[in-house]
Chains A and B, each alone.
Chain A
Amino acid sequence: MSGKGGSGKTTISGTLARLIGRSGKRVLAVDADSNPNLALTLGLSTGSYDLINPLPHGLMEHRRVNGEVQVSLSRPVEELTQDYAVDCPDNVSLLVLGPPGGAGTG
């Protein structure tokens, strides 16, 4: 989901994720904005905000393959979602990417 700031990305992606979840699919919603605020639209109760554990940047591995930098995760995605994603209503779980500028960032 892309589009100018304020255009409605979060409103639409959050509502869309939940409606897809209600159709019976399992949905992972990833908040990749540097100012994350998808949780509210997803219906995560404010009491559960403490459970949000942003994915650290240190989990990225950079490798150079044929002169091109390839980025991959140092742990399997399943493990990461298990450890870092928070369950929300409607079959959706939320993964927030940690704010940039923390230790060990590139």
Chain B
Amino acid sequence: MCSSHATVRGLLHELPTGDLDVVVVDNEASPEHLSRSTTEAVDVMLVVAEPYFKSLETARRYAGLGKDLGIANVVVVANKVRGEDDLSAIQGFCDSHDLKLLGAVPFDETLAQAERSGVPPLEHDPGAPSVRAVEGLVEHILRLVAA
């Protein structure tokens, strides 16, 4: 268990570096393997949450771990949101647990089509609702990174 985690720890400790501007880490589900001394270079932790209770509870726990690690910006990104009700449920959950909801990505069936044809979302349909929503996150995230 600790091996790949050790590598992540080492990397996070020493990144970002030289001519790289941004490092995006697609992590294991949970941040529990990260340690405080090695998350100093992490500007933002995004916690992806789906609009159902178990996912939100998990997100809340992971966000708590991230905060305990001293990561300055721990934010939630809602995903697979199917309408206003989903969105307000997530917003309510975040509000009541002192979590910042950075943005929401709608449920998007073009992603399943993309997957079936083995094509990345960006090539499959650059105008897809999910892609547009992620586009909307970029500016927010870069602002957090720069701050």
Does B89 sit at the interface, judged by CB under 8 A? no
A3 in contact with B28 given A43-B120, A100-B1, A102-B3 (CB within 8 Å): no
Does B25 sit at the interface, judged by CB under 8 A? yes
A54 to chain B, nearest CB (A): 10
**B14/A8 in contact, CB under 8 A:** no
> Within B10-29, which residues are at the interface with A (CB < 8 Å)?
10-11, 13-29
> Within B112-130, which residues are at the interface with A (CB < 8 Å)?
118, 120-123, 130
Q: Which interface class (under 10, 10 to 19, 20 to 34, 35 or more) fits B?
A: 35 or more
Does B105 sit at the interface, judged by CB under 8 A? yes
B142 contact set on A, CB distance < 8 A: 20, 23, 25
B7 contact set on A, CB distance < 8 A: 32, 55, 57, 59-60, 97-98
Q: Which interface class (under 10, 10 to 19, 20 to 34, 35 or more) fits A?
A: 35 or more
CA distance A41 to B114 in the complex (A): 10
CA distance A70 to B130 in the complex (A): 39
Q: Which of B26, B123, B135 contacts A10 (CB 8 A)?
A: B26
> Within A25-62, which residues are at the interface with B (CB < 8 Å)?
25-34, 38, 40-43, 46, 55, 57, 59-62
Does B99 sit at the interface, judged by CB under 8 A? no
A57 to chain B, nearest CB (A): 5
User: Which 8 pairs between the two chains have the least Cβ-Cβ distance?
Assistant: A3-B48, A105-B3, A25-B21, A8-B79, A100-B3, A17-B24, A13-B26, A7-B48
Binding site for A on B (CB under 8 A): 1-4, 6-11, 13-31, 37-38, 45-50, 54-55, 58-59, 62, 66, 77, 79-80, 105, 111, 118, 120-123, 130-131, 134-135, 137-138, 141-142
Given pairs A2-B47, A100-B3, 4 additional interface contacts (CB within 8 A): A9-B26, A15-B134, A30-B25, A60-B7
